[in-house]
Structure 1
Amino acid sequence: MRVRRWYSGRRLGLTSLTIAASGLLALLIGVAFAVLLWAIDDANDSTSARRASRTALVEAGTMEQLVLDLETGQRGFVITKQEQFLQPWNEARKSLPAETRRFTESTTSAGQRRTAAQIARGVRSYLDDYSVPLVEAVRRGDPAASGPAETDEGKRRVDALRAQFDRYTADERTQLAAREDAAGANGHRAVVAAGLGLAASTALVAAFTVLQHRAVVRPVRAAAAAAQRLADGDLATRITPSKVAEIGALGTSFNSMAASLQDSRRRVMQSVEEVHRRTARDLHDGAQQRLVSLMIGLRLAREMLPDEQTTATELLEDSITNAQTAIDELRELARGIYPLTLTVKGLAGAVADLASRCPVPVVVDNACDGRFASAVESNAYFIVAEAVTNAVKHAQASQIDISLELTGDILRIRVADDGVGGVAGAAAGSGLTGLADRVAAFDGTLSIESPPGEGTSILVRIPVTA
């Protein structure tokens, strides 16, 4: 009776309480949403800064490659005195002004801009003060051009430039790491804001549990199920946006967290592939170039010997053969780490080259001759390579079929064999885990059909646009 009189005296009915609670809830939601927008805006700024850092790193790598092309072409010309070896030198010299401009314009800070300008001056000095005069001296037949002093001078200059590039790259990576840390802090603030908003809203919604069951309880259950799938390793799991602001904020935070984990795995894979690419490039630019120079020298020495000196001639012939074998083996090693065909011809060419080297007959049906982003091409190639390797090692197949098809923005890859099948129940360590990780890292899907005795068919779908 007292409660009824209290309500009657205060004239607060259910509608008033609902309006008051809704108003407070709306205020809380508005504040939380503003914080989330601020965090998202800050995260977008951090993303833009990270993108600029990656662009600067790419331009630095391109600039360094031009220096290596200048040095490689110049060295081949000095050794052989043949103009054809100057082709990379001429191309790098032609591309240098435009690349220098892009390199200096891609810097992300005043300090990096000064370092880039210093590198640009060093590269220009190397070309104008050393490389061009050296080439002209060789053309004039100056014997001093091939002397140790000139060689040591060129090595000193290139080593100095490489040290500057390494310092520039290290500084840029340090800035990139700092920006990524800032982005992580912003994400944490977004999660905290969402949690506070959800806690305050729950206190008000408690009085309306029955009415809010469909709007709150069901989305929370869906979030719990998604969290379990995420814990089981499905990083592609996402929560469907909810009409309830707090639940929607929770879903946004969860999706951001899942996307961050997925991006982290993708960055790790891209970093590993970058290491492979750099290792293959170092093999090509280092040991392989030295072997090529050695073989050129041996051939020149062979041509200078009279035919009467059969013993020396046979020894040089054997040395040339061994050098060529070493070059072929080194190329095969570099191809296994990161195939040059993938960079030059793209995914279709690399898969065709892989098929030609497979011990089992392979039929390739290619319906996408275009080029994709380098990360997509390398990921797709190694998916095909791993699937083919598994078929060769375990399937006892007599033929493997590979099909590449671009449907809209989805790249479809199918690798099928006529082997023993039965891999659906295979252990995680059988090689399928690596395939699944590669596919999931790029928001793709993987499906496997492998009835016992009827072969295995692996179908992968990968988005080719961001």
Structure 2
Amino acid sequence: MGAGRGHGGRPLGLTSLTIAASGLLALLIGVAFTVLLWAINDANNSISARRASRTALVRAGSMEQLLIDLETGQRGFVITRREEFLEPWHAARKALPLEARQFTDSTTSEEQRRTAERITQGVRSFLDDYSVPLIAKARGGDPTAGSLEEATEGKRRVDALRAQFDEYMSDERVHLAERTDAAGANSNQAVTAAAVGLAASMALFAVFTVLQHRAVVRPVRGAAAAAQELAGGDLSVRVAPSRIAEIGALGSSFNSMAASLQDSRRRIMESTEAVHRRTARDLHDGAQQRLVSLMIGLRLARELLPGSERAAVDLLDQSIDNAQTAINELRELASGIYPLVLTVKGLVPAVRDLASRCPVPMVVDCEGERRIPSTVESNAYFVVAEAVTNAVKHAQASRIDVFVEFGEVLRLKVADDGIGGVGKATAGSGMTGLADRVAAFDGKLTIDSPPGRGTTLLIQIPVRD
């Protein structure tokens, strides 16, 4: 009996314990990675769907802007009979076929495509059945062109189309929110799986600390250091690959988590910029258009007064000047929130517009100019704007040079001839915010700022078409 007990109670050797622990560890990691891969696959699908929704929203906004240009141009021409007011109308009419095709092609569902086709047909009907005949009447001197009935009909058509645009974009935002929620749930599952895998791994490694110090402890310490940097706000930190399968798996989990957090910050920035874009559009479409109409009316009234009515003429001239000042101030405000030229013409024209308003002489040059995804364009623009603002406020510069190079990676260079001396230790909130914005889009920021020799910022942002 004693022998049997000795045989039955014999402890497992170290090799057996190692095999058992390794087997358990492999099982846990396999399960965790199955969940991770599933979550990552769903997250990737959600990201692709969100990107498609954002593209659809941008195309809808461009199509709606064409409608606004058609309506604004025809209204200005009918009121004034001046051909220069038809320039946006001609441009919108020329761009309509391509924009309509891109708008319908960017839809994310059959229902949205049907809605987009109805909207496109409505815009074409507005142009062909109402706008073109109205302009022909106005050119022919037909007094009914400026009648209240014609104006009411135009407003009814535009309001109906904009309501359809609003419904389309509202539905697309609902889809985008649903996909964002799904991506967030997948990220939570990935984080949970990574945490469970890490806890189980550390519990088993504690038994074999001495034997596996080099193979396990040191890599885990490296991962912990990376996690500390991540907690400090550096979402670009990644764990280097390891030849040890388990540590390599841990690094992959960490990198997936960091990438998910980085994507979350990017979404927040994109959401904020969408709000800015909508606010700027509302200012342009609302108050600014009313002020333009007011100024046109004042100028027409001024032309109708005889020269002998000096008091009335002077009052109207002063009112026209005040209206023009208000328009300029409102346009400057809207441009500061989100420049319309960025949406319509792209990054380089927007930066050149920024240069025209900069109090310090600013030279803009570019290479390979082309349109890139709107999220990258807006992010790059605000990076340049923040860098220029920092140079104007703090660098005491007399010149700022901006160079933009397009390729698979968008490269931005902002250089000034100021006092220099900018570094991580001396960087203020503006430079920190700039670094966060670049990191959110997987970009890299390099600062070269020797004291007394100016500051050069080099920014690289991947372009994903």
TM-score (norm. length: structure 1): 0.82
Q: Which amino acid aligns with 2:248?
A: G
Q: Does residue 441 of structure 1 match 2:462? A: no
Provide the rounded CA distance (Å) in 2 between the counterparts of 1:152 and 1:221: 72
Equivalence for 1:116: 116
| Cα 1:142/1:28, change in 2 over 3 Å | same
CA contact (8 A) 2:60 2:165 kept: yes
Spell out, residue by residue over 1:390-441, the C-alpha distance to the aligned partner (whole angstroms, 9 max, x if none): 444345x252443426497352423334348578655855x33333332332
Equivalent positions of 1:65-464 (< 5 A) are 65-198=65-198, 208-340=208-340, 342-343=342-343, 346-360=346-360, 362=361, 364=363, 366=365, 368=367, 370-371=369-370, 372-395=372-395, 397=396, 399-404=398-403, 406=405, 409=409, 411-419=411-419, 426=426, 428-429=428-429, 431-448=430-447, 454=452, 457-464=455-462
| Cα 1:326/1:198, change in 2 over 3 Å | closer
CA contact (8 A) 1:424 1:450 kept: no
| Cα 1:85/1:420, change in 2 over 3 Å | closer
Give 1:159 deviation, angstroms: 1.9
Spell out, residue by residue over 1:110-163, the C-alpha distance to the aligned partner (whole angstroms, 9 max, x if none): 443443344344434434443344334334433233222222232222222222
Provide the rounded CA distance (Å) in 1 between the counterparts of 2:442 and 2:173: 26
CA contact (8 A) 1:194 1:246 kept: no
Q: Which amino acid aligns with 2:460?
A: I
Q: Which amino acid aligns with 1:463?
A: I
CA contact (8 A) 1:235 1:440 kept: yes
Provide the rounded CA distance (Å) in 1 between the counterparts of 2:198 and 2:431: 40
Indicate the SS of the match to 1:364. Answer: strand
CA contact (8 A) 1:442 1:462 kept: no
CA contact (8 A) 2:73 2:87 kept: yes
Indicate the SS of the match to 2:212. Answer: helix
Spell out, residue by residue over 1:77-128, the C-alpha distance to the aligned partner (whole angstroms, 9 max, x if none): 2212344433433443444344334333433234434433443444344344
Q: Which amino acid aligns with 1:220?
A: V
Give 1:228 deviation, angstroms: 1.0
Using the TM superposition, name which of 44-53 and 279-288 deviates more: 279-288
CA contact (8 A) 2:116 2:168 kept: yes
CA contact (8 A) 1:413 1:461 kept: yes
| Cα 1:390/1:189, change in 2 over 3 Å | closer
Give 1:62 deviation, angstroms: 1.9
Using the TM superposition, name which of 241-250 and 172-181 deviates more: 241-250
CA contact (8 A) 1:439 1:460 kept: no
Spell out, residue by residue over 1:316-358, the C-alpha distance to the aligned partner (whole angstroms, 9 max, x if none): 4333333333333333333333345545665555445544544
Alpha-carbon RMSD: 3.7
Give 1:225 deviation, angstroms: 0.9
Give 1:30 deviation, angstroms: 4.3
Indicate the SS of the match to 2:369. Answer: coil
Provide the rounded CA distance (Å) in 1 between the counterparts of 2:422 and 2:43: 46
Equivalent positions of 1:23-42 (< 5 A) are 26=26, 28-42=28-42
Q: Which amino acid aligns with 1:459?
A: L
Q: Which amino acid aligns with 2:463?
A: T
Using the TM superposition, name which of 371-380 and 36-45 deviates more: 371-380
Equivalence for 1:49: 49
Give 1:229 deviation, angstroms: 0.9
Indicate the SS of the match to 1:370. Answer: coil
Provide the rounded CA distance (Å) in 2 between the counterparts of 1:316 and 1:8: 107
Give 1:65 deviation, angstroms: 1.5
Q: Which amino acid aligns with 2:326?
A: A
Provide the rounded CA distance (Å) in 2 between the counterparts of 1:46 and 1:135: 47
TM-score (norm. length: structure 2): 0.82
Give 1:44 deviation, angstroms: 2.2
Using the TM superposition, name which of 112-121 and 228-237 deviates more: 112-121
Spell out, residue by residue over 1:271-292, the C-alpha distance to the aligned partner (whole angstroms, 9 max, x if none): 3333333333333333333333
Q: Which amino acid aligns with 1:462?
A: Q
CA contact (8 A) 2:235 2:259 kept: yes
Give 1:219 deviation, angstroms: 2.0
CA contact (8 A) 2:66 2:92 kept: yes
Q: Percent identity?
A: 67
Provide the rounded CA distance (Å) in 2 between the counterparts of 1:109 and 1:451: 54
Q: How many residues align?
A: 461
CA contact (8 A) 1:21 1:204 kept: yes
Provide the rounded CA distance (Å) in 1 between the counterparts of 2:72 and 2:394: 44
Q: Which amino acid aligns with 1:215?
A: A
| Cα 1:450/1:37, change in 2 over 3 Å | closer
Give 1:68 deviation, angstroms: 1.2
CA contact (8 A) 1:219 1:247 kept: yes
| Cα 1:2/1:157, change in 2 over 3 Å | farther
Provide the rounded CA distance (Å) in 2 between the counterparts of 1:186 and 1:74: 50
Spell out, residue by residue over 1:178-211, the C-alpha distance to the aligned partner (whole angstroms, 9 max, x if none): 1121122223333344444455555665654444
Q: Which amino acid aligns with 2:238?
A: R
| Cα 1:421/1:455, change in 2 over 3 Å | farther
| Cα 1:107/1:226, change in 2 over 3 Å | same
Provide the rounded CA distance (Å) in 2 between the counterparts of 1:85 and 1:442: 40
| Cα 1:3/1:287, change in 2 over 3 Å | farther
Provide the rounded CA distance (Å) in 2 between the counterparts of 1:133 and 1:379: 42
CA contact (8 A) 1:416 1:456 kept: yes
| Cα 1:382/1:186, change in 2 over 3 Å | closer
